[in-house]
Structure 1
């Protein structure tokens, strides 16, 4: 591993961790490097437009080249490309918003977002990063991910008073995902919001990501609708897994868009 590249990557990850702008001292503390080293790396990253410096505060933020790279990643994502029709069909079927996501480190990254098909004002969440342990999408992926032990060993802070953070609670949740084929989130990432998601598998039989329905908890978790929503999510995930070339043993009964599994 080339040390300078690794250090530059750590700096970019620190700047993308949620705090919009960071000073050299703050970055140095977060990545565990000396300030002169961080300053030199920042100057190089700035020359490549991967970071920008605020002229008033002297603090650094991610630069426009990062957006260009992110868009290129989305354009090249097979999961996202294969999910476009399936996600739209799912949104129409359950009349809710749909997210398709993948796991990056300890966070779920939203690759595709289909708005709820009505006239309500909605915000596009493509690129949003959510701690895996606080959302149904994350649980759906982690339940089958080869790095499950590593994910469970991390420090997992609560996002709300309902976020499951202890290892026993999360192990039980992931075991439940493996038993029933889908994950349910009840106000764990944000109060009032819920999610239902199922894993999407790739050619190698490991999770490529997950597809899920997101929306108000009182609507998604309504007993009168919950069975229909979970069935639709599972069928969509199986169909998308088939399109990605997942082994039949993992995705045995793919569905057709808007239809039922065989």
Structure 2
């Protein structure tokens, strides 16, 4: 599961008044490290539908692919004939699980694929704890808050909580955060899995050079810049990518010390203070540090419960 900086000048936080965001949206990404197993004895799977399992191979390959895929390559990776794969993809397109680029003909996951896991992820950790904390943070600051995880190919918003005012930005669940242009993306660059991040940076830089070479904000962060982010524990940026808006983002870590997700605060530049000593950054860091503690605690409790239920476990 795996940041952008648009930051502004300092303003006072609204006293102790808590204001519920006008709207909150959630979308959940499919697990990246294999399916999770339920607790208890496994039941016989029973009879299945082979065509669904065959089609599932195509979806699995799209999840694993590093970007859009040609039909012939997708079919070969799923061990299907191109004509057979095309029939499955046509149906998946109709229900929104798959998209096809009109110009290149290449396939990628569609919006319905991103929404599939919503019901499950709402009630599981770490998303449940992150959601509660993000609501509190948005209420306290009165600003937009986004939970960002690493999706199939890039940092992806899984939950958006709007602040007191609507912002002039099309940021919805499922939106991709640029690794080269946003503070949330920089968090993944600084703390995330290098192989995945480097692949994404290559895609973004290639796309930008071919489409809008003047967008100077889109560039690879230097190691010195990344080290600064690691040292201070957050990343921020003013007036980017939308003029008048700024943002700041910070990491939340798993029990093993790896990056779990990032939380980003977005607001008008006149409302958001991105300085380290500012109230907004202090509130964000307090939230992410608490969530990192919760993730570690939940993981340890889960391991203890598993050990206690093991047949080899002996009570003292």
Change (3 A) 1:52 1:228: closer
Matched, 1:173 2:219: no
RCO higher in 1 or 2 (8 Å CA, sep ≥ 6)? 2
TM-superposed CA distance for 1:124, in Å, is: 6.4
Paired residue for 2:217? 163
TM-superposed CA distance for 1:144, in Å, is: 1.7
Q: What TM-score does the superposition give when structure 1 sets the normalisation length?
A: 0.67
Count the aligned residue pairs. Answer: 229
Structure of larger gyration radius: 2
Paired residue for 1:254? none
TM-superposed CA distance for 1:44, in Å, is: 2.0
2:246 to 184, 194, 201: 194
- Whichever structure has more strand as a proportion of its residues is 1
1:236 to 269, 274, 287: 287
Paired residue for 1:21? none
- What's the Cα RMSD here? 4.1
| Equivalent position SS for 1:126 | coil
- Whichever structure has more helix as a proportion of its residues is 1
| Equivalent position SS for 1:133 | coil
State how far apart, in whole Å, the 2-side matches of 1:44 and 1:51 are. Answer: 10
| Equivalent position SS for 1:91 | helix
Change (3 A) 1:162 1:30: farther
1:126 to 173, 184, 187: 173
State how far apart, in whole Å, the 2-side matches of 1:120 and 1:133 are. Answer: 22
TM-superposed CA distance for 1:30, in Å, is: 8.5
Change (3 A) 1:77 1:149: same
State how far apart, in whole Å, the 2-side matches of 1:121 and 1:207 are. Answer: 30
Q: What TM-score does the superposition give when structure 2 sets the normalisation length?
A: 0.57
Unaligned runs of 5+ in 1: 18-25, 248-262
| Equivalent position SS for 1:99 | strand
Paired residue for 1:152? 198
Per-residue displacement from partner, 1:180-205 (whole Å, max 9, x unpaired)? 11011334444443210110011111
Unaligned runs of 5+ in 2: 1-53, 299-316
2:86 to 42, 66, 79: 42
Paired residue for 2:126? 79
| Equivalent position SS for 2:87 | helix
Paired residue for 2:265? 213
211-220 vs 114-123, which moves further: 114-123
